[in-house]
Amino acid sequence: MPIPIVPLGDRAVRIPRPPRSSARALLDELRTWPSVVDVVVGREDVAVYFAGSPVVDPAAIARLTRLEARDEEARIVELQVVYDGPDLEEVARLSGLSVDDVIARHTAPLYEVETMGFAPGFAYLTGLDHALHLPRRATPRTRVPGGSVGLAGGYTGVYPFDSPGGWHLLGRVVDGPMFDARGARLRLGDRVRFLRCG
């Protein structure tokens, strides 16, 4: 079945994200298309922006359906975390686990940066233990400190700088900023491991 292409104005298109492709493989493939100036990979769709009117080769679309994850090319980023977040005990209560079990389950997976948003440098990480899948907080905070490690839904992530936020906060990254003059510490397709310290 062909991948549907939906116009976004006169210089962009939206396509569904192929199910088996990694974010990095998809990004790299789409950047090879002629006249592409930007690619935004979302959880379900991908927006491709062109310098002029989009010209999409059907053969290029067909290649997207055959993309596979390329784990050997993924960068592994380890983040040192102190687990002292204000919601840690509440997450334990809601998940029916002890605090130590929450931390153990949070540090066990090797996560993947599936998409970027809601703020520059904010990486949505997949691979969270199902026991820790919790809805967002009923009342978001007006300020979450940069470096805070949180979770909501099936995702975990690190707030790159001070911002409002509604995720449950487990702790904080202590081995450097998540966003600085060079840009975001995490990028699409990275693998991320949280290491407990302190």
For the chain, the residue count is: 198
86/174 same-domain check: yes
Last residue of a domain, one of 18, 39, 71: 71
Let me know if residue 1 belongs to a domain: no
Longest dimension (CA), the chain: 56
What is the CA 90 to chain-centroid distance, rounded?
A: 24
Residue 71 confidence (pLDDT): 52
Residues 64 and 97 in one domain: no
Amino acid letter, 146: G
Last residue of some domain: 49, 71, 93?
A: 71
pLDDT for 95 equals 97
Does any domain span residue 92? Answer: yes
Q: What's the burial of 73, exposed, middle or buried (CB within 10 Å: 0-12/13-18/19+)?
A: exposed
* pLDDT tens, N- to C-terminus, the chain (198 residues): 567 788 888 888 888 887 666 777 788 888 888 888 888 877 778 888 898 888 788 788 777 777 765 555 678 999 999 999 999 999 999 999 999 999 999 999 999 998 887 777 899 999 999 999 999 999 999 999 999 999 999 999 999 999 999 999 999 999 998 988 888 889 888 899 999 997
The pLDDT score that the predictor gives to residue 70 is 56
Instruction: State the Cα–Cα distance between residues 93 and 64, nearest whole angstrom.
Output: 43
Domain range for 34 is: 6-71
Question: What is d(CA 190, CA 123) in angstroms, rounded to the nearest whole number?
Answer: 9
Structural domains of the chain, count: 2
Residue 126 maps to which CATH number? 2.40.100.10
37 and 127 both lie in a single domain: no
Alpha-carbon span 2 to 62, nearest angstrom: 7
Residues 91 and 60 in one domain: no
Q: pTM for this one?
A: 0.76
Same domain, 120 and 184: yes
16 and 64 co-located in one domain: yes
| 27, part of any domain | yes
pLDDT at position 72 is 52
Place of tokens 């592994």: 76
Q: What is residue 128's predicted lDDT score, i.e. its pLDDT?
A: 97
**Domain co-membership, 55 together with 21:** yes
State whether 188 and 91 are in the same domain: yes
